[in-house]
Structure 1
Amino acid sequence: MKKVTVSGKTVEEAVSKGISQLNTTEDRVEVTIIENPQKGFLGFIGAKPAVVDVVVRPDPVEEAHLFLKDVISNMGFSVEVTKSEEKGQVLFSIEGENIGPLIGKHGHTLDSLQYLLNLVANRYSDDYIRITLDAGNYRMKRKESLEQLAQRLAVKALSTKREVRLEPMNAHERKVIHHILQHKSGVKTYSDGEEPQRRVIIAPA
């Protein structure tokens, strides 16, 4: 935590000094007034300046970024973590060799890390922040794989006229299946079961 204690003729002047010393902006700091300025005898004898503590509020995304790099390092991986923000969306991408264990079966490890990242970020934010974590472009590859699976199993449900039960999936992956088949003629989809064993059912309409 970056913090300075500064003084000035006025509270405003003291705060301005603190912001300058911390090399930040007013919207990123919290201010605690230690002493208000006091006028002295005849306006100057015994006068006391204002004293304030100026603290930089942690940046939620940066705290999550540091947390992720620390966790990955402690797991023994040497990878590159990049951060991008666009239209309020935050994406962390992991690139490197042998990152399969960071992804895990069907992305379970990646999802767990993503969950922890969001917990860390939202500890420091008044507004909800959603961070997506990817590794080796796994998210896009998995989405394409799910779309192909959905189409293939929909054909199976139509040809056999029987329900097809998919393997358990997280909510995001179930949504992909529902979305890709929502306008496919002759089939319907619904979810069944309790987390973490909840799965999509593809059935003849």
Structure 2
Amino acid sequence: MKSVKVSGKTIEEAVAFAVTQLHAKTKDNIDYNVVEEPKKGFLGLIGSRPALIEARYKPDPAEEAQRFLSRVLEDMGVEIQVVKAESRDREAVFHLYGEEPGVIIGKHGKTLDSLQYLAQLAANRYAKKQMTITLDAENYRQRRRETLEDLAEKLASKAERTGGQVVLEPMPPQERKIIHAALQSNQRIKTYSSGTEPRRYIVIAPA
């Protein structure tokens, strides 16, 4: 990680210089240690000493995820724009726009989920606390949520009607959460997850 030693009349001034030298957006994008405290000296001149800090660029996890995605999509040979829709302390949402959305969504969103997983790994290389990355394309996430909620209701009815268990296909954690949430108010059935990742699945059974 690149670091620089910077001096200034005050620590604040040295930090401002470090932000410029490291091409950071704000002081929040750097970490620094004070090497020498400033000293005013006699009459403000004799024996005075500037502040000296050692500063390092601190990558923004969301920005690193965005850069990673752009490189991967370029290597895939698809013209897709990565736009950050929102970013909070521990979560960032990106929308992918392009002429070939189906290529990056994949069957049942598997390609999109894989890209999301890799982007999350890229972000968490620089995050102090675990960060969640969400990718969406062509409003796929909302459409998939509605599909899963409809599926959950139909399979819950089947479990009630037959009195037996209904086993769903393996799903990623975020999709299993949708199924569980859709049926949590149904007192006639119960849901639980079984198996191990990445083949973990949901079972719907009479209560």
TM-score bracket relative to the smaller structure: 0.7 to 0.9
Give me the CA root mean square deviation. Answer: 3.1
In structure 2, distance between residues paired with 1:35 and 1:87: 34
Q: Distance in 2 between matches of 1:6 and 1:93?
A: 39
Identical aligned pairs, as a percentage? 51
Whether the 8 Å contact between 2:70 and 2:82 is mirrored in structure 1 is yes
Distance 1:80 1:16 in 2: 33
Determine helix, strand or coil for the equivalent of 2:131: coil
Superposed CA offset, 1:50-104 (max 9, x none): 5544333111111111011110110111012110225544101112222223222
Partner of 2:82: 81
Cα offset, 1:15, TM superposition: 3.3
Query: Retained in 1: the 8 A contact 2:62–2:87?
Result: no
- Cα distance change on mapping 1:68 and 1:191 into 2, 3 Å: same
SS in 1 for 2:161: helix
Give per-residue Cα distances to partners, 1:151-194, cap 9 Å, x unaligned: 11122222222222211112221221122112224322222222
Distance in 1 (alpha carbons) for counterparts of 2:154 and 2:148: 10
Q: Distance in 1 between matches of 2:146 and 2:26?
A: 43
Aligned to 1:146: 148
Q: TM-score, normalised by structure 2?
A: 0.80
Partner of residue 126, structure 2: 124
Give distance in 1, aligned partners of 2:123 and 2:81: 20
TM-score relative to the length of structure 1: 0.81
CA 23–105 in structure 1, closer or farther in 2 if over 3 Å, else same: closer
Alignment of 1:1-205 (within 5 A): 4-9=4-9, 13-21=13-21, 22=23, 24-31=25-32, 51-85=52-86, 88=89, 89-205=91-207
| Distance (Å, rounded) in 1 between the aligned partners of 2:204 and 2:24 | 57
Which stretch shifts more, 147-156 or 186-195? 186-195
Change beyond 3 A, Cα 1:38–1:74? same
* Alpha-carbon distance between aligned partners in 1 of 2:64 and 2:172, rounded to the nearest angstrom: 26
After TM superposition, the runs of 4+ consecutive aligned structure 1 residues lying more than 6 A away are 34-40, 43-48
3-state SS, counterpart of residue 84 of structure 1: strand
Q: CA deviation at 1:36?
A: 7.3
Cα distance in 2 for partners of 1:158, 1:132 equals: 34
Q: Higher mean Cα deviation, 99-108 or 22-31?
A: 22-31
Q: Distance in 2 between matches of 1:16 and 1:149?
A: 55
Which amino acid in the other structure matches residue 68 of structure 1? Answer: L
**SS, match of residue 197 in structure 1:** coil
Measure, in 2, the Cα distance between the counterparts of 1:186 and 1:102.
Answer: 39
